[in-house]
């Protein structure tokens, strides 16, 4: 699952990102409405948007209205300090799928996010595949040559991010941000390398050819190379 968190207050943004990544979801960040809108202008697709209404740049309600008018069908969970009925009604009328008033329990936010994502995939089960590796987004099921592979939440989050970026070089900095967000964890590349190593070991069990390759000085790329030496992604 891909989630966009739009929140300008660092402590809340960091806590939300950490909680969602602990679910194994790929999370992108935006601290203002203009940056958030640019993600969609760049044709990026998200299953869920967690959107604070009181943000700099384009405010949350204006952004919400714009996204719906542009045909964006991501589920949108609105966060706000406002608790007036009118604010909730305006957000829902503008296209929000759910509404959570600050302060909130992180467990409730995660539960509401899960419920929205279940609704989104109730009638479909999207699968990402690269070579022999397949990921079923709806239930985090990972298979290699049709054999189920058990991954930890962080390993799954890393693999899903690579699957969405298949064929692209991804830097260690991007991978670290995807794993840890604003949690304050050390940004040393060794942390990323360790998790990539764990993931490789599980994906390559049983003699499966390597699909997660190192690009020295640049990062990593998820790429399937067939027996003829070519590369391809399904």
Q: Give the CATH number of the domain where residue 133 resides.
A: 1.10.10.10
Residues 91-139 pLDDT 10s? 989 999 999 988 899 999 999 998 888 776 554 557 889 999 999 877 7
Answer yes or no: do 47 and 103 share one domain.
yes
64 versus 206: which is more confidently predicted? 64
Residues 6+ apart with CB under 8 A from 183: 14, 17, 18
Distances, alpha carbon 136 to alpha carbons 104, 149, 225, in Å: 30, 12, 22
Answer yes or no: do 49 and 115 share one domain: yes
Mean pLDDT of 140-166: 89
Taking CB atoms within 8 Å and a gap of at least 24, the contacts of 65-71 are 65/94, 65/95, 66/37, 67/37, 67/40, 67/95, 68/94, 68/95, 70/40
Mean pLDDT of 42-66: 94
- Rounded Cα distance, 96 and 37, in Å: 16
SS3 200: helix
Number of domains in the chain: 2
- Which residue among 120, 135, 151 closes a domain? 120
**Which residue is associated with the tokens 């999207």?**
126
Q: Is the pLDDT of residue 233 over 50?
A: no
CB of 192 closer than 8 Å to CB of 172: yes
Distance, first Cα to last Cα, the chain:
18
Does 156 lie in the same domain as 201?
Answer: yes
* 7 and 115 belong to one structural domain: yes
- The whole-model pTM stands at 0.64
Residues 84 and 187 in one domain: no
Residue where one domain finishes, among candidates 120, 140, 175: 120
pLDDT at 86: 80
Domain end residue (candidates: 71, 99, 120): 120
Q: Are residue 110 and residue 141 in the same domain, yes or no?
A: no
- Asked if residue 195 and residue 156 are part of one domain, the reply reads yes
CA pair distance 180, 172, nearest whole angstrom: 12
Tell me, yes or no, whether 131 and 116 share the same domain.
no
Residue 195 and residue 87 in one domain:
no
Domain that holds residue 145: 127-232
The strand ranges marked E within 96-162 are: 98-101, 127-130, 133-136, 141-144, 147-148
Q: How confident is the model at residue 226 (pLDDT cuts 50, 70, 90)?
A: low
């Amino acid at each position: 699952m891909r989630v966009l968190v739009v929140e300008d207050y660092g402590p809340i943004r960091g806590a939300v990102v950490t909680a969602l990544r602990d679910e194994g979801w790929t999370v992108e960040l935006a601290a203002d409405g203009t940056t958030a809108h640019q993600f969609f202008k760049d044709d990026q697709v998200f299953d869920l948007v967690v959107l604070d209404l009181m943000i700099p740049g384009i405010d949350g309600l204006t952004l919400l209205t714009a996204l719906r008018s542009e045909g964006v069908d991501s589920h949108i969970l609105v966060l706000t300090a406002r608790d007036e009925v009118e604010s909730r009604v305006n957000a829902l009328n503008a296209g929000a799928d759910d509404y959570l008033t600050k302060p909130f329990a992180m467990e409730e936010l995660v539960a509401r996010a899960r419920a929205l994502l279940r609704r989104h995939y109730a009638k479909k089960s999207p699968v990402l595949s690269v070579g022999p590796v397949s990921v079923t987004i709806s239930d985090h099921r990972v298979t290699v040559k049709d054999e189920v592979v058990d991954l930890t939440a962080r390993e799954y989050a890393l693999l899903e991010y690579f699957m969405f970026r298949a064929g692209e070089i991804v830097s260690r900095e991007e991978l670290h941000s995807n794993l840890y967000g604003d949690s304050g964890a050390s940004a040393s590349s060794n942390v990323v390398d360790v998790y990539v190593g764990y993931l490789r070991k599980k994906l390559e069990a049983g003699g499966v050819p390597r699909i997660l390759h190192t690009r020295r000085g640049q990062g990593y790329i998820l790429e399937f190379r067939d027996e003829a030496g070519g590369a391809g992604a399904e």
